[in-house]
Amino acid sequence: MRALISLSVATLLLAACGSQPPAPEQNPAGVESRTPGAVKVDTPPVVQVKPEQIDPNSNAALRDPKSPLSKRSIYFDYDSYVVKDEFQTLLAAHGKFLAANPKMKMLIQGNADERGSREYNLALGQKRAEAVRKTLTLLGAREDQLEAVSLGEEKPACTASSEECWGKNRRGDMLYSGEF
């Protein structure tokens, strides 16, 4: 806004500095002499928002660490693409959010650990992403809001060769519009 005002003032100054002298006024208008008074500017009050006051259907809930919507990974058992019961409430929150925000899109990335062939891991990652997508549609999201892709073993969350690390890599990650 300041830049626009500065540009307008600069344009007016340049126009006033033209090379031709101004034509004399025939009947000059009278000029009033006024002294400016104090200008009152109302500043809006600062509003403190507590986490429990954040609307679960707003985009702010996606970034609030206390909101379930900030959790974006679903973990799977070895050689499985079945969504565990422990992730149903998390997926229900994301499904409800997507239903309340029809313009929002989600990319679901299916991942696998390093064990297995590249082709097998790509197929398993796709099945995991599709399982998350199907669950979200059953919980309120529209199909046109969701895209499921496989990353196979290409994007590990952990690189050590241990059961704990492999468990972190067997997942489906949910990314919202603007994050992918």
Residue 1 has what pLDDT?
55
* 69-107 per-position pLDDT tens digit: 999 999 999 999 999 999 999 999 999 999 999 999 999
- 60 within domain boundaries: no
Residue 180 has what pLDDT?
83
Residue 170: how many other CB atoms lie within 10 Å: 23
* 56-72 per-position pLDDT tens digit: 666 888 999 999 999 99
Residue 60 has what pLDDT?
87
State how many domains the chain has. 1
Beta strands 106-111; 171-176: pairing state: antiparallel
Nearest 5 degrees, angle CA 160-CA 163-CA 165? 40
- Mean predicted confidence (pLDDT) in 100-119: 96
CATH number at residue 115: 3.30.1330.60
Backbone angles phi, psi at 32, to 5 degrees: -90, 145
Which of 64, 35, 141, 80 minimizes the C-alpha distance to 72?
64
Where does the pLDDT of residue 146 fall: very low under 50, low under 70, confident under 90, or very high at 90 and above?
very high
Q: Which domain holds residue 101?
A: 73-176
Q: 94 Cβ partners below 8 Å, 6+ apart?
A: 69, 106, 136, 139, 141, 174
- 15 within domain boundaries: no
